[in-house]
Structure 1
Amino acid sequence: MSAREGTVRTAVITGASSGIGAATARALHAAGYRVALLARRGDRIDALAAELGDDAIAIVADVTDRDSLVAAAQRVQDELGGADVLVNNAGIMLLGPFASERREDYRAMVETNLLGAITATEVFLGQLEDGGGDLVNLSSVAGRTARATNGVYAATKWGMNGWSESLRQALLPDVRVTLIEPGVVDTELPTHITDDATRQAVQESYDAARVKPEEIAEVIAFVLSRPRHLVINEVLLRPADQA
């Protein structure tokens, strides 16, 4: 039973400055949640918090910096009463041929996509357990398959999948764990790719994407709306025409 049962729930969303993170913040706020928007780009989350109005706060935090997450958790506790939901959405997709000169891209993906989610969860876990919480981890179709140019990105998502299953077992019944695995979604992920040829090819497929971040956010909101005795542990979503 939630220690805060009967009260308004609070959702913390990492990577809330754009894409699925921003859409999830809007969807959960519309569903009655207080929301804490965490991201590095303060101007974007400030604007989103202003758009949402009451019960939304913007906190500049980097998931690769534990101290910033600890400070964020303290603000969430002090200003919103603690986190009931953590959405681990922050991530980067630096695709390209495997090569030594791209080693900084590989480190950045591991530190953001996998270690960042692990650290955010470790920092907020006490609040989630206190509130009978929910943990939502954003993975990818790349957590189930790999291609020649996405090896390290896929490795971070395969890691997210395995870690999420371990957490599911370790945290039940106090914290529900859900893994969301989208395919191509209309987001800015390709713009960060440092390999020019890969970025162009990936951008073309994303430009044609029909699945919008709001549609993934709707799924997350639905998962969280289920009664406490039911947990949807894994959701795989693809565009209908994605092979």
Structure 2
Amino acid sequence: MRVAAIQMNSTDDRDRNLAVADRLVRAAAADGAALVVLPEKWSVLGTPEQLADGAEPLDGPAISWACATARELGIDLVAGSIVERVEGREKRSNTSVHVGPDGEIRATYRKVHLFDVEVGGRVYRESDGEEPGEQLVCSELTAGGEPVSLGMGICYDLRFPELFRILALRGAQVVTLPSAFTLATTRDHWEVLLRARAIENQCFMVAPNQIGVSPPGNRSGGRSLIVDPWGLVLATAPDAETHVAAELDLARLAEIRARLPSLANRRPGAYAWPKAAL
């Protein structure tokens, strides 16, 4: 199964972002990708005010384009994440959408872990304008032939291994992680964490990242990655708006899980969460 990760330098200009996404998704499909994944907040990325202005419902321009394009190209498309406006809610959601090759929405995942941190000299407070999701989500890929189980995460989720272990225990073979990782954390943590999640859970990780500067001067680090269940990097993006692609060997995944059965060797009865919280 061939997959592709799309790397973008999204800004607050939605029309421009949609045009770039359309060009790169089509290039990835022409490269043979049956699954294409866009980065986090690919349709609008900017200040809190710009994100609020660019928020849209699931039947808005971004996901409508994703549905039409997936159907036209006959691919599974994970439309990164968008800033979703939900009727009746004051705050927005950071929402990843899986669209099947028939153009229908197969799964919707709302980011569970919000990025409330200080890093690289900047303070980020996603919770000021967004609310966390409450459910972990698996879907199913069909464009490549045989069904493949898909787990879904977004960016900061990468630092919470529990999420990925649960997805693996639910059968996820491929996990997508659309991201806008900061420049500082991309340099020092991005590849290490992605390879660790792939090794721990014996799954493929497809992780498209934002690259470059977005308003109000935030910098994302690029280096979009595709990683195999042994932790080997199959593809890395250069510092540009582009796509990278790789073949996923599902037979190798099954062999790794059979020969080094760490998922099967778990002992849930011995695990207990400490009562004292940090």
Using structure 1 for the length normalisation, give the TM-score.
0.39
- Higher relative helix content: 1
